[in-house]
Structure 1
């Protein structure tokens, strides 16, 4: 197959719904979601300039401590972690920017669950406007969901993923949890004879089981964000992509249109459907690094950002403590250590926004790992970011 764009990998001839998000096909697919899946645009506006800073940062000369406790080279870590884009912002300036695998400035890349953090930022804005109370239940916003397991879950519980709804996040099961969601959003074909729901709304309405009382503990479930998105659209009467454009993307000075993949009903896939450019994800990170401000304006309420940084480790069960012994989850962001100033937006296959507000530091890494989840590699990238932040210093 002839490559129409020199330097950019061609579309795999055998790309299918079954393999597009798996290696090696994800190396192409994550930068071309709109070429084979339905999407809706998130319009940009007048861009906020990002100025380069000459700090002399040399990743080839920098080492950090990896998950084994060994000192490793930062540049080699990028080489070995299927990097597509890597960006460092310090004090609002570009310190390091690197593109690989055919990606370039302006390319958009699937962010997977980083999408959740953007939807949470939108929630904070709407809440401050007084049109989206957090103590209201799902049924209050979407009456048709009153009979399902999410009916009496509050928006606050969705944000912190503390509902008791039974929805396993296992990646491999096509007939439960995230496997059903992949079918409902149109990312995977249903197995022969499978009568599972074919839209997000239908899937939510079909859920009936509880694993525990609501509010008792954190459990990572992408469905919480999908339900949050349904509530937002019902409360405001507008599509999620248009709200993100109007209230986040344009105000923060995004320079590139982003997009949301949509389900067969046209509903934006809130938990993982956002594709955006490297620099615009950096701009989004600046909002949280700077108490909700970016591009000379308050975009997300300061109180919302402050609340996002403070999680409750008592809600964090043991199964999440192996690599986050003092961790928490708040407002659709991960807190690796409740005693540290760092929050993270994370997505499978190696997507990360690392935000340290004390150092006015934002790091973004877009990747296409061969495996969806790789805790060791995630820790290494996180430690690399932390080391670069320390080298650059506090604001």
Structure 2
């Protein structure tokens, strides 16, 4: 049994983060991507910190030149170096105030899981999730330059196994004859309070499209129980609790982000149309 207090600072488990922008936040802030760190996730600008430091540390070969690129700092090799040594505070924002998706938050979460469990992140996922789902196929995880598993992305599955994961979430964490994820945790994602809505509303880039973001899930319609797991370039696991529907997409759409991306929103519209047909 592993116990983590979501109100604790990540630095309680990862002293490497003391003095970084992550020290003042809570683990719940990480889950909600409301960490107010001084780091912008920019996939387009070649001079962005993301492409100069984070992408090369993650060994993101899909970025032009990324396979051979070195982070522009001798202090950074893998992602753990980057998270602990490079990311500072955004002094204009307070943690918990505004939603801003940032992959670094997810990598800190994966690092915490590994540290608290005493297992490499990939082995923890295999033991506690993948083997219990009864997946048809093995999954593969990307690793950074230091060969550490990346938790922010790069997990490769078949489409059917991704949908199987969605079905487990739809069934409140129960699947394949067992409770894989506590039902209370799944329910908490859609148990939205005023500040859950406000965090997203305060960010004009997301406010028009999403009701909220909580516990690593994008909420489209809380009343309908409509929410999604989303990956860059259009990966989607869409869930509608009202119609008991799961729709999964893989994609290589132009543009990484969901913001203003018609390719992405056409997938959401298709999923919603499917859900409407099974009412």
- TM-score, normalization by structure 2: 0.88
Query: How far did 1:183 drift?
Result: 0.9
8 A Cα contact 1:167 1:176, kept in partner: no
2:63 aligns to what? none
- Which of 205, 227, 249 is the aligned partner of 1:320? 205
Describe the shift of the 1:253–1:147 C-alpha distance in structure 2 as closer, same or farther (beyond 3 A). Answer: same
2:182 is aligned with 1:301: yes
Distance (Å, rounded) in 2 between the aligned partners of 1:370 and 1:380: 13
Q: CA deviation at 1:130?
A: 4.2
Structure 2 counterparts to residues 56-75 of structure 1, below 5 A: none
Aligned twin of 1:198 = 77
Q: Which whole-Å deviations, capped at 9, do the CAs of 1:271-315 have from their partners, x for residues lacking one?
A: 112001111101100111111111111111101101112341111
Q: How far apart are residue 175 of structure 1 and its match?
A: 4.5
1:160 to partner: Cα distance: 0.4
Residue 359 of structure 1 aligns to a residue whose secondary structure is: coil
The count of aligned residue pairs is: 264
Give the Å deviation of 1:189: 4.9
**Structure of greater relative contact order (alpha carbons < 8 Å, 6+ residues apart):** 1
Q: 1:28-43 to 2 correspondence within 5 Å?
A: none
- Deviations along 1:225-273, whole A, 9 cap, x unmatched? 0111111111111111111111111111111000110112222111112
3-state SS, counterpart of residue 204 of structure 2 = helix
2:246 matches 1:373: no
Question: Runs (4+) of structure 1 moved beyond 4 Å?
Answer: 189-193
2:11 to 114, 128, 139: 139
Match of 1:208 among 76, 79, 88: 88
Shift of 1:359: 1.7
TM-score (ref. length: structure 1): 0.63
Name the larger-Rg structure.
Answer: 1
- Distance change >3 Å, CA 146–CA 192, structure 1 → 2: closer
2-structure distance, mates of 1:152, 1:194 = 26
User: CA 1:308–1:322 in 2, change beyond 3 Å: closer, same or farther?
Assistant: closer
Query: Which runs of 5 or more structure 2 residues have no equivalent in the other structure?
Result: 61-65
Does structure 1 residue 218 correspond to structure 2 residue 99?
yes
Q: Name the stretch that deviates more: 336-345 or 141-150.
A: 336-345
Within the candidate set 28, 34, 59, 1:186 is matched to 59
- 8 Å contact 2:56–2:71 — kept in the other structure? no
CA deviation string 1:190-236 (max 9, x = no partner): 76893262210110112223241111111111110011111111111
